[in-house]
Structure 1
Amino acid sequence: MSEPNSKPAWGLLQQDIVELLRAKYWNNTKNLKSLLTGNTAFPLQISLKPPKGNAALNHLSHFQEFVDSWRSFCEQAEDKSLHVKVNWDTVRFRMLSEQRVPTTMTISDITALAQMLGSKQERQLTDWQYRIAFIFDSLAIELLKRTVHPIKSNYEHELFIELIVNLEALSAFSDSDLKLLVKLIPQLYKGMGRGCYLRALPVIVVDTKFIEKNLRFIESVTSAIIDRSAKEVGLLSWLDCRDKPKDWLLVKPLCKNAEDALGGLPLLRMSSETLLSFELPAKNILVIENDQSCLSLDTIPDTIAVSGGGKNVSWMKANWLASKRVAYWGDIDSEGLAILSDVRSKLSTVIPLMMDSDTVEAYLDRMVDEPESVAKEPVALTDRELILFRMLRNGDFGCTRLEQERLPIDFVYEKLRLWAE
């Protein structure tokens, strides 16, 4: 027989069921959305785990509490008109005669589930219902004004699904955000951006920062109402808007002629996309991994430096670079040599500067350890570079990285001027 004060595994009480429902359905985002969209069908049948065999005899007090608590719950549910039903069976127990025992709970719909869990969940559900109803009702009015570009017929179900899928974003919207959303969607049509940046999109009333901030949510709603391809290709592509540049590179002319040719600007930022087509006005192009190393330079004849790309060297496949003398200078470590390999795969004539074993040997005392070495051997290194890559990765120099910033400026200028002149 069990200890008298230990709680058995059978006979779930109301607080047990509430905790179970909250964990399994409400706090589990995937399960909650499945209920809201109808993928998981109501009614829910929840077992109350009634006792079996002689279990009730071993815990008579718990059995009585189990039965009484659900009898009391049924009375309260009836008074409050809860859409929750407790199902009872008549069970014959040895020494206890026949007993009416609660066996399962039936939860009829999402409203009943929220009622079961408490006022917080009821408020959440009411808030979601308000937001969804506002979008449906307001969009119906606004879409009537859309005369040129068609919308999908019978879009309501698809829109509802997308709103539930994006429930977190929808919940974060203020009332003013909801109004902006329903003003925006009817204005959108395929190709309206005409190759401009998103911030230049020709919309009225709505600010384009709102679009940028809520791009994925707007994409889902647009896909549901107007054109499914908006989600398939991405909203920016569907609108024919250019991506905002994310990879600004530092461009620094290193002589007066180059600076004059760039409008007298001593420093400027260009995106990788721009540099693919914009030819820099100097014979020598020096590509540097780190911005700080670039900023330390000045007075290199007929030279413009480009820095800050790190691993992003995609722009170096630009056709105009074929007519230039191009050098690359980065850290001497496995990652720096891997970037050099990537550069060479795009521009075979690139000249590496200060990325050799002689430089390492000269400044061994300035080396540090690379946080994590590149595992895969680069494919576009020379034999000597590949040997250096392996030696660095194996720790043959004691440490594994010589950062370009640790090289003395007089040494750097000597190497750069020899290359440039």
Structure 2
Amino acid sequence: MLTVAEAQQKLAGLYGRRFDRWAVDGAPATAADIPLRPPTETTALREPQRVSSWIAEWGEVHQKLVSGSAVVWETRRWPNAGTNTMATRLVLQRPEDLAAFIRQGAHWSASCRRAQQLREVVEKHAAEAGAEAEPVRDALRRSLKDIVALPQPHYERLLDVVDWLIRHPESDVFPRQLPVRGVDTKWLESHRKIVGTLVSSLTGDASLGLRPLPARLRIRVLDPALAPGGLRDISAPVAELVRWETRPRCAVVVENLQTLLGLPDMPGVIGIHNPGSTGAPLLAELGWLRGVGLIYWGDLDVEGLRILSRVRSRFPQTRSVLTDRDTLESHLDLTVPDHERASRTMPEHLTPEERELFLALEEHGRVRLEQERIPWDRALAALHDAVTP
């Protein structure tokens, strides 16, 4: 016998899977039709009180249902238990009936209201642009759960932001400059997923037409003679560093920021912090790096070798330090397990020694050795040897 509570739990799952489609695309012919598994004669004879309570419980539900929805009853004639009328099915015609049954009436009303309002905003622009409406509906379906969860003030801001961004697809402004009351950088960061899904469904631009923060690099000038205006520690947009008229003899690129800050003075040398997997394209914009010696020191793991490969693909003159089997095996006690999802495919632009390290990482149980765990005196000695003319 399916109790009312069990039916509510079952239909809550159905509602959670379907409400977004119903709210965006319209109601189905029947929202729900489920069997109630009425008791058998044996159960009626063995547990008469339980069966009687079950019948009464579904009778109360039946009385509360509106026209079109109902508990379906059938008469059962049993040889030893007489004639009894049993609830056999629950039919909920409209989504609002289902929502009311599972105590989600307010949620359903908000879903319909907000889906309709956002459709009007976005599809109006779609019609003006001659764009298809289906991507807009799909975006709404995918986002509606998060949209309905927004407090009303945030939802109202969402409406205004979506409308403004669609009307200004190439605004080229920072999020701070959006002319929508109550919207700032933090608000957009917190709601970027919803805003991006809705706006890009029409514009096709995941950037929302906003201006990105400029990519920056951190540089330490290790030779005072090369320091512009005496500046030794520089963090600047790559677009500006491109125009820097400097002529270092050598550049040391490291993955760890504290390693960069700890580097000592070296004649004719600058240090550069490589910000992980995104660093190689940024370094490649610095044309003045192509004519200098480039020393790379990164973590001893498969991702570190992959980053090194990306840098060398753009700077063939790149030489690595402390990136070999001997360094790994002399510090095995300082290794830790590598990330489970780390790719095990050999990178393309590696030297024989680096390829041997890649194999050794696998042989020793897929480990990784972070560069900062290597003793500082050994690291400095290797770097000095590498940058010495």
Task: Give the alignment partner of residue 259 of structure 1, picking from 227, 244, 249.
Answer: 227
Q: Structure 1 CA distance, aligned partners of 2:191 and 2:320?
A: 44
Q: Structure 1 CA distance, aligned partners of 2:51 and 2:327?
A: 82
8 Å Cα contact 2:32-2:92 kept in structure 1? yes
Distance 1:204 1:400, change over 3 A: closer
Write out aligned runs for 1:24-103 (5 A): 24-26=13-15, 29-37=16-24, 38=26, 41-52=29-40, 56-75=44-63, 77=64, 84-103=69-88
> Is 2:183 the partner of 1:217?
no
Task: Give the alignment partner of residue 282 of structure 1, picking from 244, 247, 251.
Answer: 247
Distance 1:265 1:172, change over 3 A: farther
8 Å Cα contact 1:285-1:324 kept in structure 2? yes
CA displacement at 1:252 relative to structure 2:
1.2
8 Å Cα contact 1:193-1:202 kept in structure 2? no
Task: Give the alignment partner of residue 352 of structure 1, picking from 308, 316, 320.
Answer: 320
Task: Give the residue type in structure 2 aligned to 1:394.
Answer: E
Task: Give the alignment partner of residue 199 of structure 1, picking from 171, 175, 180.
Answer: 175
Partner of 1:6: none
Q: Structure 2 CA distance, aligned partners of 1:402 and 1:222?
A: 41
Distance 1:166 1:351, change over 3 A: same
Question: CA-atom RMSD, angstroms?
Answer: 4.0
Could you report, residue by residue, the CA deviation over 1:31-90 in whole angstroms, capped at 9, with x for unpaired residues? 332443447542421211124575544544433333333334434x16xx5864111122
Corresponding residue SS for 2:51 = helix
Distance 1:153 1:404, change over 3 A: closer
Could you report, residue by residue, the CA deviation over 1:326-360 in whole angstroms, capped at 9, with x for unpaired residues? 11122345544443333223321112234345656
Q: Structure 1 CA distance, aligned partners of 2:131 and 2:386?
A: 71
8 Å Cα contact 2:157-2:180 kept in structure 1? no
Corresponding residue SS for 1:45 = strand
Q: Structure 1 CA distance, aligned partners of 2:332 and 2:363?
A: 18
Q: Structure 1 CA distance, aligned partners of 2:17 and 2:166?
A: 32
Task: Please give the TM-score of this superposition, normalised by the length of structure 1.
Answer: 0.73
Task: Give the residue type in structure 1 aligned to 2:85.
Answer: R
Could you report, residue by residue, the CA deviation over 1:189-245 in whole angstroms, capped at 9, with x for unpaired residues? 577536x4533656454645244442332334435xxxx442x34243xx2x34335
Q: Structure 1 CA distance, aligned partners of 2:263 and 2:32?
A: 71
Higher mean displacement: 208-217 or 87-96: 208-217
Distance 1:258 1:367, change over 3 A: farther
8 Å Cα contact 1:255-1:300 kept in structure 2? yes
Q: Structure 2 CA distance, aligned partners of 1:324 and 1:251?
A: 15
Task: Please give the TM-score of this superposition, normalised by the length of structure 2.
Answer: 0.78
Q: Structure 1 CA distance, aligned partners of 2:44 and 2:332?
A: 77
Distance 1:416 1:82, change over 3 A: farther
> Is 2:6 the partner of 1:16?
yes
Q: Structure 2 CA distance, aligned partners of 1:275 and 1:327?
A: 23
Task: Give the residue type in structure 1 aligned to 2:170.
Answer: G
8 Å Cα contact 1:367-1:400 kept in structure 2? no
Q: Which runs of 5+ in 1 are unaligned?
A: 1-10
Q: Structure 1 CA distance, aligned partners of 2:158 and 2:368?
A: 53
Task: Give the residue type in structure 2 aligned to 1:109.
Answer: R
Partner of 1:108: 93
CA displacement at 1:391 relative to structure 2:
3.7
Partner of 1:268: 234
8 Å Cα contact 1:288-1:328 kept in structure 2? yes
CA displacement at 1:306 relative to structure 2:
0.9
Q: Structure 2 CA distance, aligned partners of 1:370 and 1:50?
A: 59
Could you report, residue by residue, the CA deviation over 1:154-207 in whole angstroms, capped at 9, with x for unpaired residues? 99997676445322332343333333333334433577536x453365645464
Distance 1:62 1:182, change over 3 A: closer
Distance 1:177 1:152, change over 3 A: farther
Partner of 1:5: none
Higher mean displacement: 250-259 or 38-47: 38-47
Corresponding residue SS for 2:91 = strand
Partner of 1:165: 142
Distance 1:287 1:32, change over 3 A: same
Task: Give the alignment partner of residue 234 of structure 1, picking from 161, 184, 206.
Answer: 206
Corresponding residue SS for 1:300 = coil
CA displacement at 1:107 relative to structure 2:
0.9
8 Å Cα contact 2:337-2:368 kept in structure 1? no
CA displacement at 1:367 relative to structure 2:
5.1
Number of residue pairs the alignment of both structures matches: 379
Partner of 1:379: 348
Q: Structure 2 CA distance, aligned partners of 1:354 and 1:180?
A: 53
